[in-house]
A and B are shown apart, each in its own frame.
Chain A
Amino acid sequence: MPDQTVLSLRDITLSFGPKIIQKNISLDVRKGSIFAVMGGSGCGKSTLLKSMIGLLRPSAGEYHVGDENYWAGSETHRTDLNHRFGVLFQSGALWSSMTIGENIALPLQMFTDLKPDVIRRLVELKLGFVGMLQAIDLYPSEISGGMRKRAGLARALALDPDILFFDEPSAGLDPITSARLDDLILNLRDGLGATIIIVSHELSSLFHIADDGIFLDAKTKTPIAHGSPRDLRDHCTDPQVHAFMHRERDEEGNT
């Protein structure tokens, strides 16, 4: 796989009004990699994700998607760039007034000229990927939380994005479902050639799938480590990172 940077952040500062959430975030996400955003609760992981998908404008710094400066252009420009993104929100964020099938069909109806039968076929395909075909005509309120998450993933794939963002994909899932979701993420990365940014503190899953990452610290409000979760676990000397990475391993025994 070519070692090409898809996303790059330079000295990004995130803040809500005068309150600074994180500062001096610089990172590069390579094409085809799975990049983990790690850190304790309340350190600003999800805020960073929000700024990367265009929901929160950073107060300082530069953000590039491919060769494009994300925040420099107009809103239409950003919307075009956003069509390269697929986002899986924490609880699926399915539109409750539509069936699962309609949820996935909507972006296709809005942004392509495909005929209804072609759209239906693509919707079935995306649901087939996540193993949810049986729920195509059900409403989000009629399926379980884990299924909602998988349906959310199918919707994120609707426009064949090449950059996927996952916010806590395994939160609230049982270990088996969560492991299956990990495999699915790997399969989709390899199959679609997509780049994946994943926000999580589910260490076992991060060790399994992520090959690069950043560790955010809530106290200093800066990133304190860069590298893959496995590397950080084995080689990082920072006491914070060490504690974070190793508690899980002790509980697990032998990851």
Chain B
Amino acid sequence: MTDQTTTGPSAAQPADRTPQWHLQGEQTAPVMVLSGTWQARAGNIPVFPKDGLKKAPGAHLSFQTSDLQVWDTGLVAFLWDLKRVAHDAGISLDMQTLPGPMRQLLELLPEVPDEPVHHKTARTPFLETVGNHAIASMTEVGVVTELGALTAKGALLTLLGRSRMRMVDLLANTADAGPYALLIVGIVNFLIGAILAFVGAVELQKFAAGIYVASLVGIAMVREMAAVMTAIIMAGRTGGAYAARISTMQGNEEIDALNVFGIPTSTYLILPAVLSLIITMPFLYLYGCLIGMLGGFVVAISMLDITAAGYFHQTITAFHIGQFIFGFTKSLVFGAFIGLTSCRIGLKAGRSAADVGIAATRAVVVGIVGVIAIDAIFAVIADVLGI
């Protein structure tokens, strides 16, 4: 072999020559002559044609690289093409005629590459998809119910002192779901009350019944708006956070560690989360009612010819205690629902970074849709009971 004039891949020389190759010699002992500059970044690396070598079992192909200037992995890509074609043609490569570094890289590359594994993307018929979704949804209802039962059992055992929940977790969760949420719950409910008053004032004024704005705002806030709006805020704020936290724990194998120790996730993780929402939601509901009425009051006083005392009196006489209990109960149910579903979604999530995002999104969507659906059920029940 002649002296090698090739330089290593890191050598920086001006790329003044294009990559060139040709085959010479007879069929039983072809010689691959390589010359020029072969750099992957230049993007001009030729592909060795699939029919570039005729079938010649037993033949040896050698290399002549004396005119090669600069090369890097681009040349190796070409040699790999050649290696595969030569293998198919039954020709063996005389690796000793290649410079050492090139040979070592080429030897790493398989003659027959493994076929890429693809995802199975078998199409399922439409009806089957619908059926699968239906079954999955119903199963989820069952799973969430079971999780709720387990959590309730965990709560009972904790009360009896036979199981333990970390009080620190409960307090931290409660602080986050309660005091820290006051500002946003306040702003939203104030605005809702004000908007209701605006809408009512425009119509009621026509009948000189402006004072009934107080009844409208009071009843709407107590029966529906305070509970629903607060629940929607909590679903976005706290539910999303629970789902993200638990799915990250899933990714870190923290949940697996709990399971191996036999620490029930229902008591350790879900109970504090659900309990904190059950504790804070009713308070947030009451707070939301008052702030909403304040919003209505501000609008009514400034727009209509009503005294403060009149508005106050009308508000008190407008609704009875049953409506309060109704809204209060709803807020408890919403709290439990958001806590349970978001924890369940976190537990069910996959282990990658993208899965955490999916879980958080899903928790918010399921929380909001679920709250409104439950509210509709309550409305039907209230109608039947005549509240």
Q: Which residues of A contact B (CB under 8 A)?
A: 96-97, 112-115, 118, 121-122, 124-126, 128-129, 131, 133-141, 157, 160, 162, 184, 187-188, 190-194
Contact = CB atoms under 8 A, between A and B. Distances in A.
A138 B117 contact: yes
A96 B353 CA distance: 7
Contacts of B77: 121-122, 125
Given A136-B116, A140-B352, 11 more contacts: A97-B352, A115-B43, A128-B108, A129-B108, A129-B109, A133-B110, A133-B113, A137-B117, A160-B9, A160-B41, A191-B104
Contact of A135 (B43, B104, B117, B353): B117
A118 B104 contact: no
Contacts of B354: 96-97
A121 B75 CA distance: 12
B73 A122 contact: yes
What's the dominant secondary structure at chain B's contact region?
loop
Contacts of A118: 40, 43, 45
B17 interface: no
B73 A160 contact: yes
A137 B119 contact: yes
Nearest to A96: B352
Residue of A113, A124, A125, A160 most packed against chain B (CB within 10 A): A125
Nearest to B352: A96
Contacts of A141: 350-352
Contact of A193 (B9, B40, B41, B350): B9
A191 B105 contact: yes
Contacts of A162: 9-10
A114 B41 contact: yes
B100 interface: yes
Contacts of A137: 116-119
B142 interface: no
Contacts of B73: 122, 125-126, 157, 160, 192
The list of the 10 closest CB pairs from A to B, nearest first, reads A134-B114, A191-B105, A96-B352, A193-B8, A191-B104, A128-B109, A162-B10, A191-B101, A125-B77, A114-B43
B115 interface: yes
Interface string B15-40: 00000000000000000000000001
Given A141-B352, A160-B73, A187-B105, A131 B110 contact: yes
Nearest to B79: A125
Contacts of B10: 162, 192-194
A125 B106 CA distance: 10
B69 to A, nearest CB: 15
A192 B71 CA distance: 10
Contacts of A136: 116
A131 B118 CA distance: 17
A187 B108 contact: yes
B147 to A, nearest CB: 25
Nearest to B100: A190
26 contacts: A112-B43, A113-B43, A114-B43, A118-B45, A121-B47, A122-B40, A125-B73, A125-B76, A128-B108, A128-B113, A131-B110, A134-B114, A135-B116, A135-B117, A137-B118, A137-B119, A162-B9, A187-B108, A188-B105, A190-B100, A191-B101, A191-B108, A192-B9, A192-B72, A192-B73, A192-B105
